[in-house]
Structure formats: C-alpha cells, structure tokens
Chain A
Amino acid sequence: MNLFEIIGPVMVGPSSSHTAGAVKIGNLSRRLMGQDIVSAVIQLHGSFSATGKGHGTDRGLIAGLLGLDCDDENIVNAFDLAKQAGLTFSIDECDLGPDAHPNSVRMELYGNKGKGLEIVAASIGGGRIQVREIDHMRCVFSGDCPTLIAENDDRPGMIAMISELLTDRNINIATIQLDRSSRHGHAVTVMEVDNEIDAKDLLWLRHQAGIIKIIYLSMEENNNVR
C-alpha cells in the first residue's frame, strides 16, 4: 500500500470495488486476449449481481473490454461504445459457489481473430482485482506485473524448462503457482515476473513438447501472444 492508494486512485464512481474493479477486470481480460473482443458472455456472481446494475458494474466490465481505463468518463456510455465497436454481449446472473469472492464475474470472450478465453475474476476491494480461473484452471494473480500462464502436460521438467528460459534471459520470477486437473493430466503454471518476456521467447515456449497453451499478460499494450 502506498500514499496514492489513500489519496487516489482517480476513478469514475460510484464504487472502487464495483465500478473501478469491474473496469480493471475487463481491461485485464482484453490484454490477456491480445486482440479485439467481438463477443462476450458475462455472468455476475454475488454482490456483483445484486448491486452491480446500480453501481455500473455491467458498464464497467464492457468499458474495460473495450480498453477504457477506470478514470475514463466514457464508461457511462459503454453500451453505446460497444455497439459502435461491434462488440456483442450478454449479461446474466450466476452462482459460482460458496468459495467464490462476493464480487466475482465469469466471462467467455471471443476475439476478432477467433481466439477464446474463459475467465473468472474478483474485485477484492479498493479497486484491486484478482484473476481466479483461466480456461477452467485455478490460478491467482493480480495483473500488476507481467504474468505467464502456461497450460502443460502434468509431467516432470515442465517448470524447469520455463525457469531455465527465464534464467537465461535474466528475468526474475516474483511468484509461482501450480495446479493440475489430475495426475498426468493438464497442469497450469502461473508465473508473475519482474520484466517483460520477449514475444519470440513466448513463441518458442508455445512450440515446446508438453506445452498446450501459453497465455501472457504484458504490461505493454499490443505485445500479447497466445
């Protein structure tokens, strides 16, 4: 926490968790997609569905998917902007279960180049957010630093291979998480790193045996590879 979380952020109201957090979730999802989103199925859980409409959670999510930041006064016009941008969407309620954060949303996104992404994310207070699930794989990351998400076969050596590459490029790993669907099934490796990973290296990783999918969250715009 720093002083500008006390005096700040600059944001469009009315709620840091329900509005600013929603915009950030939309924006983060768009960056994970790395392409323009043409269709979105949005499901709101808990307090997001209960008071989301009055707080502009729905418009915030759409605004974020369109690339608006949480201080953009056009958030209020997000539905019109979506129409202009050719983004079709539906917004419904859902129940993500008792373990889900009260301010959670599940989204199915499709990009203009045909890519799809399923994401569950939560707004955890003060405008901070957390991704909780990507393509049915559990994970926890904030999107505050470059993040590599690798879906891979659950077998020895996968993490070693990724970390060797990062060592070679002198990239420090800030956090690391692992999860798997079943033994010898699919596993997901989430690494938050201190420096950007080069697009060429991401491409190389994607073609390694055992790697099923690479998703990368860049802090720089237009530098995403999937």
Chain B
Amino acid sequence: MYDSLEKICQQCEKTGKSFFKVVCHQDCNEEDLSEAQVIERMHKMYDEMRRSNASYDAKRRSTSGLIGGEAGLLRQRIEANQMISGDFISCVMEKALRVASNNACMRRIVAAPTAGACGVLPAVLLTYQEKYETEDEDMVKALFVAAGIGGVIAQRASLSGAQDGCQAEIGSASAMAAGALAYLEGGDNETICHACALALKNLLGLACDPVGGLVEIPCVKRNVIGAVNAVTSADLALAGIRSKIPADQVIDTMRSIGQHMSSDIKETGIGGLASTPAAKAWLKKQKNEYKSH
C-alpha cells in the first residue's frame, strides 16, 4: 500500500499507467491476485453499496431508537420541490442518510473506510451514476481511486475515530469521494490530489463525540456533510482551484491534530456532544429502560 499520494503520482508518470491502475496493481501484488480478480472484487463492493442504499426503510429504527426516518423526511421535501440545495446535492444528501442510517439500524453496509462513514462514498458515486449514466466499470475504477487515497491516509495517519477523531472517518471518506469524483469528471492526477486535499482540509479537527458512544448521533448526519463536501471540493479542484498545502501534508496535519485531541473526543463518548445536558438526559432515560427490561 502506498504511503503517499505523491508516490502514486510518480508511479503513474514512471509507468504511464493511470491512477486507478497503479492502485489496483499494487493490490494485485499484495494479495497475489490477478487484475481481473481484484476488479471483480471491487465490482462486488460497488454492488453492495447499491444494495445498501436500495434496502433503506424509513420505518426502521436503531436499537436505541435515536435514528430512523430521516431520509424519508428529506425525500418528502425533495418531492415537494422545496429543497434549497439543487437536485444533485439533494440526492447526495438523501443517499448519505439512507446508507448511514441502515448502518445504525444493523443492516448490511460496506465499511468505506469505516462503518460510521459508510454513507459518504455510496451517496456521491450512486448519485453521479444516476445523473450521468456512467458504466459500472468506470464507477469501479473510481472506487480504486478512492481506495488508493484511503490507503495513503491509513498509512500516514489513520482511519479510526478512536485514534484521530471523526476527521479520520468522515474526513477521510470525504477526501476519498472527492478524489473519486474528480477522476470521474476526467480530472488528471494533480486534480484528484487537490480535490482530496481540499476536502480533507475542510474537515480537519472534527471530533468523534458520539452520544452514548453509539454510531448514531452525530455520525449519521455527518455522513451528509462528508458527501456534500466531497462534491464541492471536487468542483473546486476541477475549476482549477488549488490547495496550497499538498494532500500528503494535509494528511500529516490530520494526524498531528489527532494527536493533540483529548481522548474525551476520540470515540469514548465522554466529551463534546456526548457530554451535553441533552445527551446525558437521554442516557439516563436509556439506562432506566434497560433496567426495567
């Protein structure tokens, strides 16, 4: 697995291969599989993402009862033509909610890169495919681009909220999705890296402070911001707007910010939103309910 985006780009230049191929071939080596096998596997991941979006049921609730129905509400507003956001962004928002709340409700999802951030990539990719009728084959290539970016983040920093806060989960997912979108829109390697850098910069410092330690609040709704941020960051990069800080250095920054974060806001359910009066009141109620069962 590559430990810098710069190295991936250099490898592309050296071999004349595309970003997606370089990432794909590296995995072939690592797992001792053929290119066709690895691509087939990624196809399955994309199919699962599609399935996880399709299987949403607005009536379903999470074990805690805190999550469920959000995407249904948004759908009503979309159908009433009331959305301030445009058509594309509205669909992205809805899918992010659908997949992330499926996760909270114990349905099957693709952890990409984590379960908590599972709504970001499907929201962006499935909406893109719907709008532009892109072939599955190209969507899968875009997933390799996203995986390459995620791999670099895993090597230089981490993809774990417990280690580096939510920036490492929603932030990483957003950076991966931004790169994938830039690729789908025909952006060159430089543009892919800038889209990634711009997306991650916007979410630096994001705390992992889930209420009751559950992957529900604020996680589900943060998938929406991760997905929308990926779209806007890709557009910025494709317009030629550059991140003055290179992507690898943004990733290093995420790591150092993660190290500075108190453990109270790293998936412990102690600080941040988890320590608000509203969260504490809910937890107290929840404990009493468990006792009475």
On A, residues with C-beta under 8 Å from B are 1-4, 6-16, 19-20, 47, 50-51, 53-56, 59, 71-73, 75-76, 125-127
Contact = CB atoms under 8 A, between A and B. Distances in A.
B215 A14 contact: yes
A216 to B, nearest CB: 25
Interface residues of B, number: 52
Contacts of B207: none
A75 B106 contact: yes
Nearest to A60: B106
B109 A11 contact: yes
Contacts of A125: 160, 162
Contact of B118 (A4, A13, A72): A13
Nearest to B210: A51
Nearest to A56: B106
A23 B5 CA distance: 35
B258 interface: no
Contact of B214 (A6, A12, A54): A54
B93 interface: no
B111 interface: yes
B290 A6 contact: no
B190 interface: no
| A-B CB proximity, top 3 nearest | A13-B103, A51-B213, A6-B150
Q: Interface residues of B: mostly helix, strand, loop or mixed?
A: helix
Contacts of A12: 106-109
Given A10-B48, A54-B64, A1 B108 contact: no
Given A13-B106, A16-B115, A53-B63, A7 B147 contact: yes
A50 B109 CA distance: 24
Contacts of B44: 10
A6 B151 contact: yes
A2 B197 CA distance: 22
Nearest to B160: A125
Contacts of A14: 62, 103-106, 115-116, 214-216
A10 B109 contact: yes
Interface in B103-128: 103-116, 118, 121
Q: Which of A4, A50, A53 has the most CB of B within 10 A?
A: A4
Interface string B37-69: 010011011001000000000000011100000
A11 B108 contact: yes
A204 B162 CA distance: 46
Interface stretch (B23-31, B73-81, B237-245): B23-31
Contacts of B64: 54
Contacts of A20: 111, 115
A3 B290 contact: no
B102 interface: yes
B273 to A, nearest CB: 15
B169 to A, nearest CB: 11
A133 to B, nearest CB: 23
Interface in B136-176: 143-144, 146-148, 150-151, 154, 159-160, 162, 176
B112 A53 contact: no
A3 B38 contact: yes
24 contacts: A2-B1, A2-B30, A4-B42, A4-B45, A6-B150, A6-B176, A8-B45, A10-B48, A10-B109, A10-B111, A11-B108, A11-B109, A11-B111, A11-B115, A12-B109, A13-B106, A13-B118, A14-B104, A55-B213, A73-B106, A73-B108, A75-B106, A125-B160, A127-B111
B45 A7 contact: yes
Nearest to A58: B63
A135 B159 CA distance: 34
A198 B24 CA distance: 36
B179 interface: no
B215 A15 contact: yes
A59 B38 CA distance: 32
A3 B213 contact: no
